[in-house]
Amino acid sequence: MEQDYSPTGFVFETWTVSMPVECCRIFKWIKINQSPVCFGARNDSFGVFKIPATGQVITFKLVYCSGYTNCADVRCVPNTKWVVVFSVHDNDNCRQLDFDLPIFGKILAKHVIRTIEVPDVPLCQLNCFLEADCVSVNVRAANHSREKICELNNKDANGHPEDLMVIHQSSYHGTKNACSSNPCRNGAMCQTGFTKKGYRCLCPAGSFCTKARWIKINTSPVCFGARHNSYGVFKILSTGHVISFKLVHLSGYVVCSERFARSKWGCKFRYPPKLAVFVTDHRQQPIFPPNNTVFHRFNGVPQCANGIYYSLPGYNEDSRELKFNNFSSPKTVTEGQEFQIWYGEDLKDCTEDDNDGQSCVDIHGLYV
């Protein structure tokens, strides 16, 4: 069976891309040229084709019509010019996959995760692009069929050269695999081609396996009061993923009643829980602390006070900073997204009339 790429005369077709929701795309081949495109082997005898319609392409396919070239005693590598690159939108759930030149006559054994039949090599590579764990493919002839057997691998020959096997009428196609350097930690699964880093780490449930860093979000102090909807507002400066927020006290105080002393983050009750500062979204829905983890109920207080006060291990109402527990999974935040800081009784409109004070803070996000 002929290889897909040939050093002779060609008719050109292109793969064009339409763009529906998120990263999903519909792919179709569209023929570009109206008449055969021919090229020779010397004296700049290249062939020319022109794109008839504006759009986006992810690869070209050349289909042999007629003719030949001869490179004398020089060994030809006809695929040198056609390295396939698949890519989609630039966000963390989308992917770019760069295929290296093929190795003809060999396949990578022992690492196949899926086998399908396809009409050509580019469609096999496309299926690898769509399979997040795929980093290389084997293509070989199918018995009694014009189709090709396409095998998707979750490993590559760079990491497992001992598994390359000689198979007649076959080819191995590796990719530029950013996971080869094992960048993920704590038992995470690495997937190549994702994010601006070139890979992403899929972390075991309840853990964070990429390096996290605190980034200050506000450019000036954010202040909140204790009554009459006097919440503070901050907006995200950089799109990314956060697993926690940290509030650092700068100045001021809040007080829940004239009967109790001042504090930075809550109320000077005789007994805990005493913390009462919340981070919410722009609809006043609490983000921190999580609703199902640290809320407490009281006896002998107005019903509205239930769910206002909470405890946070390692922190009290006068700590210099307040670091909330991590999300169970990273939360996507976007540039300009609004969050608010509320005092609990003010948020719940509960016994707030005797409250007083204003506290100013810096906000840091733990980005992963």
pLDDT tens digits for 320-353? 999 998 887 788 999 999 999 999 999 999 889 9
Quote the domain boundaries for residue 342: 213-367
Reported residue count of the chain is 368
55 and 176 together in one domain: no
Q: Over the stretch 159-175, which tens digit does the pLDDT of each residue have?
A: 999 999 999 999 999 99
Q: Over the stretch 43-89, which tens digit does the pLDDT of each residue have?
A: 888 888 888 878 777 777 777 666 655 544 333 333 333 344 555 54
In a domain, 249, yes or no: yes
Of 7, 3, 81, 82, nearest to 41 (Cα)? 7
Picking from 70, 86, 102, the residue at the C-terminal end of a domain is 86
Per-residue confidence (pLDDT) for residue 96, from 0 to 100: 84
**Rg, the chain, Cα only:** 30
Confidence of residue 189 (pLDDT cuts 50, 70, 90): confident
Q: Over the stretch 297-309, which tens digit does the pLDDT of each residue have?
A: 555 556 676 778 8
271: burial class by Cβ within 10 Å (0-12, 13-18, 19+)? exposed
Handedness of CA 249, 254, 256, 262 (dihedral sign): positive
Per-residue confidence (pLDDT) for residue 263, from 0 to 100: 95
DSSP letter string over 264-299?
SSB---SSS--B-EEEEETTS-EEES-TTTSB---S
Picking from 203, 231, 264, the residue at the C-terminal end of a domain is 203
pLDDT at 2 over 50: no
Q: Is residue 106 within 8 Å of 172, Cβ to Cβ?
A: yes
In a domain, 130, yes or no: yes
The pTM of the whole model exceeds 0.75: no
47 and 144 together in one domain: no
Per-residue confidence (pLDDT) for residue 347, from 0 to 100: 93
267: burial class by Cβ within 10 Å (0-12, 13-18, 19+)? buried
Residue with token string 């909470």: 310
Picking from 203, 223, 243, the residue at the C-terminal end of a domain is 203
Give the list of residues 6+ apart from residue 5 with CB closer than 8 angstroms, or none: 62, 78, 79, 82, 121
188 and 155 together in one domain: yes
pLDDT at 123 over 60: yes
271 and 289 together in one domain: yes
Per-residue confidence (pLDDT) for residue 208, from 0 to 100: 58
Of 192, 199, 226, nearest to 341 (Cα)? 226
240 and 298 together in one domain: yes
Per-residue confidence (pLDDT) for residue 273, from 0 to 100: 77
For 278, the token pair is 């919340």
**Beta-ladder partners of 87:** 96
Q: Distance between CA 16 and CA 320 in Å, rounded? A: 57
Q: How many domains does the chain have?
A: 3
Per-residue confidence (pLDDT) for residue 54, from 0 to 100: 80
Q: Is residue 117 within 8 Å of 145, Cβ to Cβ?
A: yes
Where is pLDDT greater, at 132 or 182? 132
Mean pLDDT of 235-240: 93
Q: Distance between CA 345 and CA 349 in Å, rounded? A: 6
